[in-house]
Amino acid sequence: MTFSILLVDDSMPMRSVIKKAFKAAGYGTSDFHEAANGKEALDQLQGNWIDIVVTDFTMPVMNGLELIEKMKENDLYRDIPVVVVTTEGSRERVDQFMKSGARGYIKKPFTPEQIRDLITEILGESDGYESFDCGDDDFDF
C-alpha cells in the first residue's frame, strides 16, 4: 500500500532507519518527505500531500509535541494522523502524546512489524503488502 509519509527527526540516520523499516514492513513504494524538526515539518505540510506524519519527540527548534499542537490548530492538518517514534517511554509522556492528538506511539528500538501493525490500524488494511527480504531474521531497529 502506498502512502505519503512525512518523517520528522533531527537525526538523518534515524530518518533512514525509519524509512528502511517502512520498506521492510511492505511500504516500499511510499512517498517519503523528511524534516529535521517540527518547524520544517510544517513547511513540508504546506507544500505536499501527506497521509501520515511520523515524528520524534525530542528535537531542536520545535519538538514533536509542539508540532502536533500546531497541526491541531490548522484546519488543513488537524486530521492527518501522527505517530510518535521516540525513546521517551514513561506512561506520563505517552499519555501526553495521546492527549495532544497523536494517533499512535512506537518506542525505539522497534521492528518493521510494529510499524506495519500500527500503520494498518491507523490507515486501514492493505489488500496485500509488498514483500521485502531484509536478509536478517533479527531485523530490529
**pLDDT at residue 45, as a whole number:** 97
Which cell goes with 73? 490548530
Rounded-to-integer distance, Cα 96 and Cα 111, Å: 23
Query: Is the model more confident about 126 or about 18?
Result: 18
pTM score above 0.85 = no
Q: In 10 A of CB 38, how many CB atoms? A: 26
Residue 137 confidence (pLDDT) above 50: no
Residue 29 confidence (pLDDT) above 70: no
CATH of span 4-123: 3.40.50.2300
Whether the Cβ atoms of residue 46 and residue 76 lie closer than 8 Å to each other: no
**pLDDT at residue 135, as a whole number:** 42
Rounded-to-integer distance, Cα 9 and Cα 99, Å: 21
